[in-house]
Structure 1
Amino acid sequence: MASIVYRPYRGEADLPLIMALVQSELSEPYVIYTFRYFLHQWSVLLAYPGDGGASADPVGVIVCKQSLHKDLVNRGYIAMLSVDKKWRKRGIASSLVQKSIQAMKVDGVDEIVLETEYDNFAALSLYESLGFIREKRLYRFYLNGKDAFRLVLAVPPSNDDGG
């Protein structure tokens, strides 16, 4: 089995590769301007096979952000997670989420939220195995008319910050 290398988004040269990966795997359509907004203002982590050399295309991507929610809660948000179908069942999605959670914990996040289609059982299983719980069902949330579940991971204060 090939090793996986993780690296952050490096700039516009990564954009077409990320777009191709996300558009082939996610049901929600995004235009290039949406990608640019996410990629230039949010945290992005890519997964590559082997040494992640110039010839390799990414096989996984996660896009996240952190912000104050209602001026009180430091909330992390996972906007996109996509892994190429040929590379699934190798722990890539789990690693991308865990690495993102760890980065957000370092930055003092109180909770992490995301939405996923109500019938995406693989995604629900992944997130629930990492401690996320279903907060609510969002009816007709996606453009395709599908419902979503909002999932939340409460992040307790670490021992480093007096909690």
Structure 2
Amino acid sequence: MEIKRITFPDRHLVTDLFNKYRIFYKKPSDMKLAESFIADRLRNDESVIFLAFEGEEGAEIPIGFTQLYPKFSSGRAIKIWVLNDLYVEEGHRKKSVGNSLIKAALNYAKSDGVSLVELQTAVDNYTAQSLYESMGFVKQDADSEFLGYQIEV
């Protein structure tokens, strides 16, 4: 497995996974929307995407991704990265793919001079909660749908 940051020219590599991510969160499948959304984020430098690949160079298959968005805190006068999306193909779960993607995101945040990464997950996504907590994320507030986490990097 290899983790790479993708840019606008490689946006097509994450589109199918992004669509599956949305389906996981009970949104209708819409490849055109997925393509457009990812293209806009990357074209406008509004997010950072890391993609996990399996296979040999030239025959790499995307198996998971994470997407980060910048956020700013005026009170703290800091930049924060929000780990907004994390998705791993069903057949590749529980094989450290999610862990590797999160580590890549945290390393990127640290290299960008950011000291805090936030995320949210569904209150009933216990697998994700267990992963985040095992990596040192600290549980924050919750509402009826989502549970927040933070980690200092």
TM-score bucket (shorter structure) = 0.7 to 0.9
- TM-score under structure 2 normalisation? 0.82
Task: Label 1:43 to 1:90 Cα distance change in 2 as closer, same or farther (>3 A).
Answer: same
Q: CA RMSD in A?
A: 2.0
Structure 2 CA distance, aligned partners of 1:46 and 1:88?
A: 14
- Displacement, 1:133? 1.3
Aligned position for 2:89: 84
Aligned position for 1:36: 39
Q: Which consecutive unaligned segments of at least 5 residues does structure 2 have?
A: none
1:1-163 → structure 2 map (5 Å cutoff) = 4-15=1-12, 17-25=13-21, 26-27=24-25, 29=27, 31-32=33-34, 33-40=36-43, 41=45, 42-53=47-58, 55-70=59-74, 72-139=77-144, 147-155=145-153
Question: For 1:95-122, what per-residue CA distance to the aligned partner results, in whole angstroms no more than 9, with x for missing partners?
Answer: 1101110111121212110110001011
Does the 8 Å CA contact 2:53/2:62 hold for their aligned counterparts? Answer: yes
Query: Does 69-78 or 100-109 show the bigger shift?
Result: 69-78
- Displacement, 1:150? 1.1
- Displacement, 1:52? 4.3
Query: Does 6-15 or 104-113 show the bigger shift?
Result: 6-15
User: How many positions carry a matched residue from both structures?
Assistant: 143
Instruction: Give the residue type in structure 2 aligned to 1:69.
Output: S
Q: Which consecutive unaligned segments of at least 5 residues does structure 1 have?
A: 140-146, 156-163
- Displacement, 1:28? 5.3
Query: Matched residues, percent identical?
Result: 22
Instruction: Give the residue type in structure 2 aligned to 1:83.
Output: V
